[in-house]
Chain A
């Protein structure tokens, strides 16, 4: 496989490590974001099941609904990696289609989260209502914010490619955006298990 196929050669600069600075910076950011979400997750876990007033999680969490949301986000990761493969191999049409699908699936997930939040609010769960409400909304809200930023990033990449400002020579930019997007996915894998699936 040529070095272009892994998306580095055209934009590559000589670095002391042999790894592009953009990629190194993104992985370093993701390592720090692990700690950020790690902090939110332990706070959620520490206060898990300690609410003294309802609504309690077992009363309002909708597992089938959230399972579909989780599947949508997993599917978006597949679309993202196929978009990257498209641009790395010079197929801009395939790149745009899959990146558009990634952004659309991300938006679907975010819309689902908005619906879930409003449903919970309708059932009396708010940020101030109890420990579950506080920790749940902070944890999933920050994740949703990450998804929102990711969607803006993906749409920007699509627009840049449409205006001829993004070509296969810049595939590494897509790879870096993809790293961010997949990270959002793996954070949801953890949240889905800890918040929704482990019984209360």
Chain B
């Protein structure tokens, strides 16, 4: 006997969570912009700092606003696959260009 497939979705968060995420995104953006003015003090650490902050904002939007944290794992797999290929191509080409 066949069973209906389970998408394994969890309930999405409410407006309060969305606003909290927006506040965190705003704070991270302010920190990002501040690093631009502190470039003389941060020296070689500025690029890793900016990449980590950017990745954090990316994950917050994808996880909470796009609900990927709560939706079916298959959707995470589909998007993660595209993202992995995109990052892989970028890193491979940058290596090819010796950057």
Give the B-binding residues of A (Cβ under 8 A). 1, 5-6, 8, 14-19, 23-24, 27-28, 30-35, 37-39, 41-42, 45-46, 48, 63-64, 67, 70-71, 74-75, 77-78, 80-82, 85, 88, 178-179, 182-183, 185-186, 189-190, 192-193, 197-199
Chain B min CB distance to A138 (Å)? 16
Chain A residues contacting B9 (CB-CB under 8 Å) are 6, 8
Considering the chains assembled together, what is the distance between the CA atoms of A177 and B80 in angstroms? Answer: 20
For B64, give the chain A residue with the smallest CB separation: A81
Contacting residue for A18 out of B6, B32, B46, B66, CB 8 A: B6
Which residues of chain B (1-39) have a CB below 8 Å from chain A?
Answer: 4-9, 11-12, 14-15, 18-19, 21-22, 25-26, 29, 32-33, 35-36, 39
B15 pairs with A80, CB closer than 8 A: no
Give the A-binding residues of B (Cβ under 8 A). 4-9, 11-12, 14-15, 18-19, 21-22, 25-26, 29, 32-33, 35-36, 39, 46-47, 50-51, 53-54, 57-58, 61-62, 64-66, 71-72, 74-75, 78-79, 81-83, 85-87, 89-90, 93-94, 97, 99
Considering the chains assembled together, what is the distance between the CA atoms of A24 and B97 in angstroms? Answer: 35
A18 pairs with B79, CB closer than 8 A: no
